[in-house]
Each structure stands twice: as C-alpha cells, then as structure tokens.
Amino acid sequence: MAYLAQIVFILALGTAAYFILRRAFLIKKTIQLGKAENRTDQPAKRFKNMLLIAFGQKKMFERPVVGLLHFLVYVGFILINIEVLEIVIDGIFGTHRVLAQPLGSFYPIVINFFEILAVGVILACVIFLIRRNVLKIERLHPSTSSEMDGWPAMDANIILVFEIALMMAFLKMNAADSILQSRGVGHFAEVNTGNFLISQTLVPILDNFSTGFLVFTERAAWWFHILGIMAFALFVTYSKHLHIALAFPNTYFANLGSRGEMSNMPAVTKEVKIMMELEQPGDETEEVGRFGAKDVEDLSWKSLMDAYSCTECGRCTSQCPANQTGKALSPRKIMMDTRDRLEDIQKGWLKNGYDFKDEKSLNGDYIKEEELLACTTCNACVEACPIQISPLDIILELRRYNVMEESKAPQSWNMMFQNLETSMSPWKFSPDDRFKWVEDMNA
C-alpha cells in the first residue's frame, strides 16, 4: 500500500508539473507576440525597484490596513508552503516528517511559526471575502464595476476559499498527527514532535475519534494539502493571481523614465524635425510600418506582460478622472480586455496550430473607440498600480492607430492638428502674433 501511495504521488507530481510547464510555455509564447523593446538598462536600479515594489509591496502600503492584510496572505502563504518541500520528499520516498530529525528541537519552532502564519492567512482571507461580498467595495464588486461580473469575481472568491481550505487542512493534519504520535501508532510514533501551538486547539475535538479515523483524517488532510498546492499552482496560470509570479519580472522591467513622457515613433519624429528644419533629410528610406496598434502583436511585449500581471484590484480605475465622471474608460478593463484577447489567441493555437488567425482585433472588437477617446493621459492609473502596470501605453498605441491609420479623430482634434501644422500651436493664430499679449502687459 505504501508503494502504491508513492507511485500515485509521483504520477500526480509529474502530471501537475507537465500541465504547469505547458501553460507557462504558452504564456511566454503569447507575451513574445509583442514587439521588441529594450528594458535591460540600469540593472541595479531595476533590481532595487523589484525588491521594493514586488517583494516589499511598497505601493500596497499606501493603504496600510489592506496592505498589511495582503502582505500577510502573500508572505504567509509563500513561507508556509516551504513545508511543501518536506511533503514532496515524504511523498516520493515514503517517509514521514523527514525534516524533523535533522532540525531537531528547531523543527517544532518552525511548524509553530507556520501555524501562526496559517491563522493569519485564514483571517485575512475571511476579511477579503467580507469586503468583496458583504461590504461590496465599489471597485471590487460586479454591481458597481461591470468588468468584474462573472468569472473575475468568481476567480477571486475561489482563490480566497481555496487558501482558507489549504490552511485548515495543514492545521488539521498537524492535530491528527500529534494525537497519533501520543497513541504510538505505526510510523507516527517514530517522530515525536509533540503538540503544536495552534493545531493543539483541535486536539480535544479529534481525540474523541478512533485511531483508524484519525489515520484517515491525517492522510486525507496530507493529500488534500499537497494536491491542493499542485492544483493551486496550475489554477493561478489561468487566474488574475498569476501576478504572484509575474509581479517580479514585471516590476523589474518597469519603465524607469518619467511617468508623463510619451514615446514617439522615430520615423514620424524625424519627418517633423525635417519639416521644422531641425534636421536634414537623408538618402536612406526607412520603412515606417503600422502607426500605433491594431492588435496585440503591435503592442510591446512589456504591455502584454502587463496584461498577464494585472491583479484586477481596480486601483487604477478608482483613480481615473475619466471613469469618475462617468466616461466609458476603465483602465482595469483595458488590461483585462488585452489579456482576454491573448487568451483567445491561445485557444486558437491549441485548436488550429500556431498559424491561427481570426478576423478579430484588440482595437475595436475588445476595446472600443469611446474608451480610448475618454483618456486624458494624466497617468493616474499608472501611479495607482501596485505593480507598475501601464494601461496608458496600450491606450496611446490603440488611439494612435485610430487617428493615424483610420483617421478616426473627433472634429475638435482635427482642428487642433491642423492648427499645430499651420500655426505650431493648438490655437488658430499666426506664430508672429504669439507674443503680442506681452505688449499689453508693458503698456
């Protein structure tokens, strides 16, 4: 029976690893659809940024209470799952609490620390569930944020409930194990760890049950915990919680320049400088390509990574002045729509191969012109994001395509463009008259 359990465990571990790696490969390939962009400069500054923003969660603590709860869930869940290493070793080799002997008296201290963190994770997840479903925080609830309707809201609740269940299984496993040790049952008696700080509160309840039931309870909790971790690792690759992994590279490759600085197309910049006699035309002919972005392959790879890294927290949308005034724009929806487009392409790949093409495009089919025109390029969404995602980069590229390729610009914009071309200012008067207002001041 023990050998059968080892075989089942190894098969489960191998299956989970296969599907997780397969999914990771697909996500990587999808991100690589984007245009090349160099984000490897200033490595020391980038590394520091990653440590502060992703690991230290600096921007999350701009809202201290929520930041502390999130940090507790994040750190607690990561540290507790160090124990998964022991479970994996036990599962492969058929041992029981293999690290107890090497760590000696330090082992109970480690497990006690993990149990305290487990309780913290449970409490934080319960609070988050209440915030989402009872208090109905505006930026998180479908009734006030339409893009959260359906799967996005369900996804968040599934993860929170799943984390609570995993932590409860961990505590229940420890409690049953302690009782079986005290009863001197089989291999449980070979390791004497005693009662642990938190799980011992469950001992009086479980101690009323038979030894056979406790063995079943301990094994069931053990299997649920490890298989749950495997399932969780696979699930997050389909979830907004992919930011658990992608927050680190996303903050490392974040834009280190000024937030308000917009990237211009070099070919267009050159033509403008030639027109203004700031540069002389050359003999070389440069292929301009497409102006702006029609679909995801016209965006940079970093914008596509941003889409997969989005936590759907809604801080960007809650800070957006256009959204606050009732406009159609929601920066969070921009990121979610971009990811939806990438996921649809992935589905096409899996069904029809990597040559898959469809008639849809991000610009128009997923994100509407009305949303793009509402943006004031104020950068509030970029500043608000806890992992430095930039919805603005996507908005500008899509809007650039509409204006420069499709001539879809409001009449007021066309008038401004014409004035810029003829008068070198947004207003329709001669450049020679630009400083006449100074004369009135000196009069």
Annotated domain spans of the chain:
2-31+63-252, 266-433
For 261, residues 6+ apart whose C-beta sits below 8 A from its C-beta are none
Contact between 386 and 281 (Cβ < 8 Å): no
H or E segment and range at residue 360 = none
pLDDT at 186: 87
| 379-390 pLDDT tens trace | 999 999 999 999
80-86 long-range contacts, Cβ below 8 Å, gap at least 24?
Answer: 80/114, 80/117, 80/118, 80/121, 80/167, 80/170, 81/229, 82/114, 83/111, 83/114, 83/170, 84/226, 84/229
| pLDDT at residue 27 is higher than 80 | yes
pLDDT top residue among 260 and 366: 366
| 149-163 pLDDT tens trace | 999 999 999 999 999
| pLDDT at residue 296 is higher than 90 | yes
Structure tokens at 411: 């009449």
pLDDT at 417: 85
Looking only at Cα atoms, what is the longest distance across the chain?
103
Tell me which residue of 81, 67, 149, 156 sits closest to 114, measured CA to CA: 81
Residue 108 to residue 114: CA distance in whole angstroms: 10
pTM score, two decimals? 0.89
Mean pLDDT across the chain, nearest whole number? 90
Query: What is the CATH architecture assignment of 266-433?
Result: Orthogonal Bundle (1.10)
Residue 31 to residue 286: CA distance in whole angstroms: 27
Residue 132 to residue 235: CA distance in whole angstroms: 20
| 210-242 pLDDT tens trace | 999 999 999 999 999 999 999 999 999 999 999
Tell me which residue of 287, 339, 337 sits closest to 308, measured CA to CA: 339
- Looking at the DSSP bridge assignments, the partners of residue 75 are none
